[in-house]
């Protein structure tokens, strides 16, 4: 892909995914309300919220570090939009796929969370500082099971498809992981899939893992001092991040299209795959955000750490072991 196509494609893609993320947030809220037997806000509600926030006064607290405080929301949105260039979306290869792989995406996924942490620390509010510390602890916690999952994938790719780039998304979109393993390995993959969904919940800051933002106990935590435009930017960043995280899971575990089964070709096939991608994204967001939000109350920060470091890590190691046994048995 040449530089001009990348430049031409990136802006519409970013806008589309921003809109998509906000609409998915609206669906998430509406669906959550329906699950609680409420009517819920219209699906367009997040767009209205953004429009309103843009018109509100933008307050920078007196004791904050003004330039860092105002810079962080911009960096948050910018870095999540940049991430869109590295993950496969709508059943297509990523725009800058040849420049980044799974590992770089994982590192870049830390940036939006880090901006939240820095924004919290410089906003001079004790609530924000507590929120920032909790966010850091959450980040450290989910990193470990996530790393195990990535290692399992790289190992599988290096054994099952030798010669291909072990960390590239394209390896897994060409050959779905499920076809790389037999029954035992598939069990391992299912466990890793569940672990990844839980990790994604944490990365999204969805409710059981939102101790950093807990608005009922620490007044909105990290974001407690942000208002107006800055808050809108953080809100949009979290919407885009939802799309990115969903696409990462889809790229790793559900890289299937339906055009092959429907016997479509050309443009029709691409459109069908893009539509199917939206459906898969909805399923992932439902599983990682809407369902746990309605089903489980907020965990304490100690419980979050235990959840990830003990249970999720143990599950991930079991998954990795199953896949390892499977690979070794196949090799014999």
**Cα four-point dihedral sign 18, 209, 136, 118:** positive
Quote the CA–CA distance of 43 and 40 in Å, as a whole number.
9
Among residues 215 and 265, whose Cβ is nearest to another protein? 215
218 part of the interface to another protein, by CB under 8 A: yes
Binding-site size for another protein (CB under 8 A) equals 34
Nearest distance from C-beta of residue 287 to another protein, angstroms:
23
Nearest distance from C-beta of residue 301 to another protein, angstroms:
17
Provide the mask over 118-137, with x wherever binding to another protein is found by CB under 8 A and - wherever it is not. Answer: ---------x----------
CB atoms within 10 A of CB 245: 26
Six-digit token string for 325: 């046994």
Among residues 100 and 221, whose Cβ is nearest to another protein? 221
CB atoms within 10 A of CB 302: 10
Nearest distance from C-beta of residue 131 to another protein, angstroms:
10
Nearest distance from C-beta of residue 228 to another protein, angstroms:
6
Among residues 58 and 270, whose Cβ is nearest to another protein? 58
Contact positions with another protein (CB under 8 A) in 22-81? 29, 33, 36-42, 45, 48-49, 51-52, 54-59
Q: Are 169 and 101 in contact (CB under 8 A)?
A: yes
Which residues, in sequence order, are CB contacts of 294 under 8 Å at separation 6+? Answer: 32, 35, 36
Q: Are 159 and 301 in contact (CB under 8 A)?
A: no
Which residues, in sequence order, are CB contacts of 260 under 8 Å at separation 6+? Answer: none
User: Which range touches another protein (CB under 8 A), out of 102-110, 187-195, 223-231, 243-251?
Assistant: 223-231
SS (H, E, C) 10-31: HHHHHHHHHHHHHHHHHHHHHH
The dihedral over CA atoms of 26, 31, 36, 37, expressed in degrees to the nearest 10, equals 110
One of 129, 214, 248, 322 touching another protein (CB under 8 A): 214
Nearest distance from C-beta of residue 221 to another protein, angstroms:
8
Contact positions vs another protein (CB under 8 A): 29, 33, 36-42, 45, 48-49, 51-52, 54-59, 127, 214-216, 218-220, 223-228, 231
């Amino acid at each position: 892909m040449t530089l001009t196509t990348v430049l031409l494609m990136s802006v519409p893609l970013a806008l589309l995914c921003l809109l998509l993320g906000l609409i998915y947030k609206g669906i998430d809220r509406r669906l959550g309300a329906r699950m609680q037997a409420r009517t819920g806000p219209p699906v367009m509600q997040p767009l209205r919220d953004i429009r309103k926030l843009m018109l509100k006064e933008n307050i920078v607290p007196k004791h904050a570090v003004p330039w860092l405080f105002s810079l962080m929301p911009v960096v948050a949105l910018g870095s999540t939009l940049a991430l869109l260039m590295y993950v496969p979306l709508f059943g297509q290869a990523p725009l800058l796929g040849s420049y980044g792989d799974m590992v770089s995406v994982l590192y870049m996924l830390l940036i939006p969370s880090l901006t939240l942490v820095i924004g919290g620390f410089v906003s001079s509010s004790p609530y924000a500082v507590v929120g920032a510390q909790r966010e850091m602890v959450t980040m450290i916690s989910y990193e470990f099971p996530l790393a195990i999952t990535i290692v399992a994938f790289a190992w599988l790719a290096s054994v099952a498809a030798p010669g291909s780039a072990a960390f590239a998304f394209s390896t897994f979109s060409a050959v779905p992981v499920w076809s790389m393993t037999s029954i035992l390995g598939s069990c391992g993959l299912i466990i890793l899939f569940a672990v990844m969904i839980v990790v994604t919940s944490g990365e999204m800051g969805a409710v059981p893992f939102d101790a950093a933002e807990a608005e009922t106990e620490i007044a909105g935590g990290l974001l407690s001092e942000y208002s107006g435009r800055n808050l809108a930017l953080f809100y949009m960043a979290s919407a885009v991040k939802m799309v990115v995280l969903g696409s990462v899971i889809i790229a790793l575990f559900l890289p299937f299209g339906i055009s092959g089964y429907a016997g479509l070709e050309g443009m029709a096939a691409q459109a069908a795959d893009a539509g199917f991608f939206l459906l898969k994204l909805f399923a992932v967001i439902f599983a990682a955000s809407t369902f746990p939000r309605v089903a489980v109350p907020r965990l304490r920060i100690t419980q979050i750490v235990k959840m990830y470091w003990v249970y999720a890590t143990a599950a991930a190691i079991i998954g990795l072991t199953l896949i390892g046994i499977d690979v070794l048995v196949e090799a014999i």
